[in-house]
């Protein structure tokens, strides 16, 4: 049970098998051929929905979702296929859909006012693009994100490899964190100034695939590919699978040399994804906790792995789990130009002044306008602004990013994946490809990529209250 951060008196274990309740409804309209390629069509209806976050025996929470519940339908297709999604807006406010981590054409990126006009209530918008990379991605609105994602608008988007590694089950766990009132309804405190200037909105209920799951059943000997997606506004996770040794095979959808997570903790900042291979090495009837220890003063059990009586096989598979590489351009570090990106602000920081809408102001003046953060001295107000950088198409770049704050920030770049090449000056072990990189307080992280996707792309913190609080900028690739 995990009323994270809440009192342990509310422990209420349901005999509930996440495997069964977590089945996502997939609603393809069928496929059809378009100029030889296959076109996969989906419809997403953004609307208010009752969400049984606390299980079927307690009243549902009034949430927003794509279709019938939270999360939205899982969109699953094959690498190289073309996806067409018709989005209908039945919300009481404008919206857009962003395809997080997918390298789409700029006009399909779903950033209001920057790449498209927002979709008005009652209107529709059609997104259509090819998916170049296999991996674990997700979709969510990019308009009033703290509120819209916070109310439950998100879903998984899975792109399958032509030849995926052999596993017995391929599952998605979409993690989310909700702030509920005593009446078990959403606390509508989105973009609260205190959250905005500190760690973002941390909640009191953690769900997996929209349900407060307390158990997950495993069969002895089975191999599971677990695709973890952090859809929370602000909560970071550090998952420990007690009694198990999961192998990380992909980060943010991109293949990585298979490895055990550092210190046995699978760390996910908001918007980040980790693909794990989990071998069920336990014995019939055994139980093992999956613990979240990110906030050292508030560890809790996310759920328990519960072993079935019947083994699937005597010993786990030992077939290879390395994923085939995606077609990403390799940055040329010898020729790459370096640009510094400095993140500043927040409580207990050193920021003395930054520019908002052309006017320099101090922290108190920023706070009175609902802002607390700056990128290279500029506080973002809305999605359209002067690019912080203009990059030449096809050239390699290093962004030397500096977290000059007392807070963690998962920094996301749209339209590209980048290699994380150095942390605090030290080369990284795996030179991992990411689209969202977690920066610890005061950390320096260098990323490298080829600016090969033309357009205007957001670079922002994915703690959604930090994003609306100004921690956002635009990079132009021309």
| Residues at the site binding ligand C2O, with contacts judged by CB under 6 A | 98, 100, 140, 142, 271, 412, 414, 458, 460, 462
CA gap 103, 113 in Å, rounded: 19
Residues contacting residue 80 through CB under 8 Å, at least 6 positions apart: 37, 130, 131, 132
State yes or no: cis peptide before 71, omega within 30 of 0. yes
Angle at 207 between CA 152 and CA 178, to 5 degrees: 55
Strand partners, 208: 175, 211
- Find which of ligand C2O, Cu ion, none residue 271 binds, CB within 5 to 8 Å per kind: ligand C2O
| Residue of 364, 362, 384, 399 lying closest to 456 (CA atoms) | 384
> Which option in ligand C2O, Cu ion, none does residue 461 bind, with CB closer than 5 to 8 A by kind?
Cu ion
Report the alpha-carbon distance of residue 210 to residue 222 in Å, rounded. Answer: 25
Strands (E), 212-348: 215-218, 223-230, 237-241, 247-251, 254-259, 266-268, 273-279, 287-292, 300-307, 337-345
Q: Which of 453, 468 has the CB closer to Cu ion?
A: 468
Which does residue 144 touch among Cu ion, ligand C2O, none (CB within 5 to 8 A, set by kind)? none
SS3 191: coil
409 in contact with Cu ion (CB under 5 A): yes
In whole angstroms, what is the distance from residue 123 CA to residue 94 CA?
A: 9
The answer to the question of residue 371 lying near Cu ion (CB under 5 A) is: no
Nearer to ligand C2O, 137 or 288 (CB): 137
Which of residues 100, 235, 383, 466 is near Cu ion by CB under 5 A?
Answer: 466
Q: Which does 371 bind (CB under 5 to 8 A by kind): Cu ion, ligand C2O, none?
A: none
Give the footprint of Cu ion on residues 349-368 (CB under 5 A): none
Closer Cβ to Cu ion, 98 or 408, answer by number: 408
Residues between 172 and 231 that touch Cu ion (CB under 5 A): none
Report in angstroms the alpha-carbon separations of 442 from 157, 349, 411, 412: 33, 10, 14, 18
Our finding on whether 100 is near Cu ion (CB under 5 A) is no
Question: Judged by CB under 5 A, does residue 375 bind Cu ion?
Answer: no
**C-beta of 401: minimal distance to Cu ion in Å?**
12
Residue 103 interacts with, from Cu ion, ligand C2O, none (CB under 5-8 Å by kind) = none
35, burial (CB in 10 Å: exposed 0-12, middle 13-18, buried 19+): exposed
Residue 344 CB, nearest distance to Cu ion (Å)? 11
Listed ranges 29-37, 101-109, 408-416, 424-432: which one lies at the site for Cu ion (CB under 5 A): 408-416
Take residue 303 and report the two structure tokens written for it: 């759920």
95 vs 91: CA distance, rounded Å: 8
Q: Provide the H-helix boundaries in 290-442.
A: 363-368
Closest distance of CB 471 from ligand C2O, Å: 11
445 binds, among ligand C2O, Cu ion, none (CB under 5 to 8 A by kind): none
461 is a contact residue toward Cu ion (CB under 5 A): yes
Which lies closer to ligand C2O via its Cβ, residue 219 or residue 460? Answer: 460
Q: How far is the CB of 270 from ligand C2O (least distance, A)?
A: 8
Please identify, among the stretches 56-64, 117-125, 142-150, 464-472, the one whose residues bind Cu ion according to the rule CB under 5 A: 464-472
Q: Considering beta carbons, is residue 140 or 227 the nearer one to ligand C2O?
A: 140
Q: How far is the CB of 384 from ligand C2O (least distance, A)?
A: 14
H helices within 43-168, ranges in order?
145-150
Cβ-based nearer residue to ligand C2O, 321 or 447: 447
Return the residue matching tokens 């807070």: 407
- # residues near Cu ion by CB under 5 A: 4
Told to check if 463 binds Cu ion by CB under 5 A, we report yes
Stretch that binds Cu ion, among 303-311, 320-328, 389-397, 403-411 (CB under 5 A): 403-411
234 versus 303: smaller Cβ distance to Cu ion: 234
Answer yes or no: are the C-beta atoms of 303 and 206 closer than 8 Å: no
C-alpha distances out from residue 106 to 229, 237, 272, 454, Å: 24, 31, 21, 7
Cα–Cα distance between 277 and 227 in angstroms, integer?
9
Shortest reach from residue 436's CB to ligand C2O, in Å = 7
Minimum Å distance from CB 457 to ligand C2O?
Answer: 9
């Amino acid at each position: 049970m995990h009323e994270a951060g809440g009192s342990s008196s509310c422990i209420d274990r349901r005999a509930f098998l996440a495997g069964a309740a977590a089945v996502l409804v997939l609603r393809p309209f069928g496929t059809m051929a378009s100029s030889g390629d296959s076109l996969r069509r989906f419809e997403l209806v953004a609307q208010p929905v009752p969400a049984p976050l606390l299980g079927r025996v307690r009243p549902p929470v009034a949430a927003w979702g794509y279709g019938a519940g939270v999360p939205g339908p899982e969109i699953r297709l094959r690498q190289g296929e073309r996806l067409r999604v018709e989005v209908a807006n039945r919300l009481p406010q404008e919206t857009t859909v962003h395809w997080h981590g997918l390298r789409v054409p700029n006009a399909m990126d779903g950033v209001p006012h920057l790449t498209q006009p927002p979709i008005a209530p009652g209107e529709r918008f059609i997104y259509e693009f090819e998916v170049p990379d296999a991996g674990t991605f997700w979709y969510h609105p990019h308009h009033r994100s703290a509120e819209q994602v916070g109310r439950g608008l998100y879903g998984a988007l899975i792109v399958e490899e032509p030849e995926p590694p052999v596993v017995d089950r391929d599952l998605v766990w979409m993690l989310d964190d909700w702030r509920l009132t005593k009446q078990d309804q959403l606390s509508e405190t989105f973009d609260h100034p205190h959250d905005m200037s500190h760690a973002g909105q941390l909640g009191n209920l953690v769900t997996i695939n929209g349900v407060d799951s307390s158990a997950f059943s495993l069969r002895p000997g089975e191999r599971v590919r677990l695709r973890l997606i952090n859809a929370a506004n602000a909560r970071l996770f550090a998952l420990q699978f007690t009694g198990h040794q999961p192998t990380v095979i992909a980060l943010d959808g991109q293949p990585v040399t298979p490895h055990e997570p550092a210190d046995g903790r699978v760390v996910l900042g908001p918007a980040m994804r980790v693909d794990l291979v989990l071998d069920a090495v336990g014995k019939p009837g055994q139980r093992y906790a999956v613990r979240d220890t990110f906030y050292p003063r508030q560890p809790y059990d996310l759920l328990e792995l519960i072993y079935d009586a019947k083994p699937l096989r005597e010993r786990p598979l030992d077939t290879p789990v390395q994923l085939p590489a995606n077609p990403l351009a390799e940055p040329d570090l010898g020729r790459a130009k370096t640009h510094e990106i400095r993140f500043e602000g927040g409580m207990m920081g050193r920021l003395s002044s930054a520019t908002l809408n052309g006017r320099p102001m101090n922290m108190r003046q920023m706070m009175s306008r609902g802002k607390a953060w700056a990128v290279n001295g500029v506080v973002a107000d809305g999605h359209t602004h002067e690019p912080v950088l203009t990059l030449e198409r096809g050239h390699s770049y290093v962004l030397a990013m500096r977290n000059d704050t007392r807070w963690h920030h998962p920094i996301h770049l749209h339209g590209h994946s980048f290699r994380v090449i150095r942390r605090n000056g030290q080369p990284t072990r795996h030179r991992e490809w990411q689209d969202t990189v977690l920066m610890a307080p005061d950390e320096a992280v260098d990323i490298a990529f080829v600016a090969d996707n033309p357009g205007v792309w957001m670079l922002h913190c994915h703690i959604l209250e930090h994003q609306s609080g100004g921690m956002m900028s635009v990079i132009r690739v021309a």
